[in-house]
Amino acid sequence: VKSIAVLTSGGDSQGMNAAVRAVVRSALFHGIEVYGIQRGYQGLLNNDLRPMDLRSVGDIIQRGGTILQTARCKEFMTPEGQEKGAQILRDRGIDGLVVIGGDGSYQGANKLSKLGIKTMALPGTIDNDIPFTDFTIGFDTAVSIVVDAINKLRDTMTSHERSSIVEVMGRHCGDIALYAGLASGAETIIVPEVPYDLEQVALRMQENFQHGKRHSIIVVAEGAGSGEDVAREITARNGIEPRVTVLGHIQRGGTPTHNDRILASRLGDFAVRKLMEGDSAKSCGIINGEYVATDIDTVVNTKKPFNMDLYELALRLSQ
């Protein structure tokens, strides 16, 4: 491998910059030329590539977002678009590509690999919905942001409102709700992976207040329903009117935590090393501290298992 490119695609996440930095610096360390592709697959089709040097990724490890920007690109979903992208890379003598993004971006990388471009995919999403890695890049920061928000809500709740519903992101994955809920002592965590009974939730809330509890926090994953709907259902059952906070895109911003920076640094370097070995169409992950490369095909066709142990622990501790 003499020359590789890197792009970020789909929704951005904190730590993408740290991953880009790791890919660039690791490649240069090994004497490999690196190109940065601006705005994901759209930028590839627009031939928007620039050579990256050591300084081009200076002062970004601590920044949220992505200096390469990201985009969604319809044209790249078509076989013609994919062939055009592969040809642009071939013409420039680029034989390897690192894609940082979510599952859609993974599929794009898979298609390019079938056209002879060696590809590595890195899990860049706050949702933690990509299997064959313990965590995705951005998840740790998103959870910290939710925990911080719940801390603040607790202060005001204990003085005024007594119950709060916090709706968090994660799409069809409940991990942000689960980890943030456990870490912030939420009374109830509602996730798409576990069936829930609002009758029980409302009853429990009422009983807890009767037994002297002064505040109650319910974390709702967006994939399980909206915070407003849950609030309405609860009020209808027990008369309590919880305040709803929808955290939204705040969860995707801000400086990445050290965990995300280290994960991104390790995975970026791992991707370059795998490309140097001649490997392709793999998703890079870390499981129990060990590097793991898994076929993208397997990754996109597997649902990430839900951590029931943590969920049950959260339940036991939220009496």
Catalytic residue among 127, 129, 175, 260: 127
Query: Going residue by residue from 52 to 81, which x/- string records binding to ligand ATP, judged by CB under 6 A?
Result: --------------------xx--xx----
Flag whether 170 is marked binding. Answer: yes
Q: Which of residues 161-220 bind ligand ATP (CB under 6 A)?
A: none
Choose between 81 and 242: whose C-beta lies nearer to ligand ATP: 81
Flag whether 90 is marked binding. Answer: no
Angle, CA of 263, 36 and 121, to the nearest 5° = 45
Q: Which of 9, 66, 133, 136 binds ligand ATP (CB under 6 A)?
A: 9
Q: Which of 4, 6, 10, 168 binds ligand ATP (CB under 6 A)?
A: 10
Query: Going residue by residue from 89 to 118, which x/- string records binding to ligand ATP, judged by CB under 6 A?
Result: ------------xxxxx-xx--x-------
**Binding region for ligand ATP (CB under 6 A) out of 6-14, 114-122, 155-163, 193-201:** 6-14
Asked if 127 is an active-site residue, the reply is yes
Flag whether 222 is marked binding. Answer: yes
- Annotated catalytic residues are 127
Q: Which residues bind ligand ATP (CB under 6 A)?
A: 9-11, 41, 72-73, 76-77, 101-105, 107-108, 111, 125
Binding residues for substrate: 125-127, 162, 169-171, 222, 243, 249-252
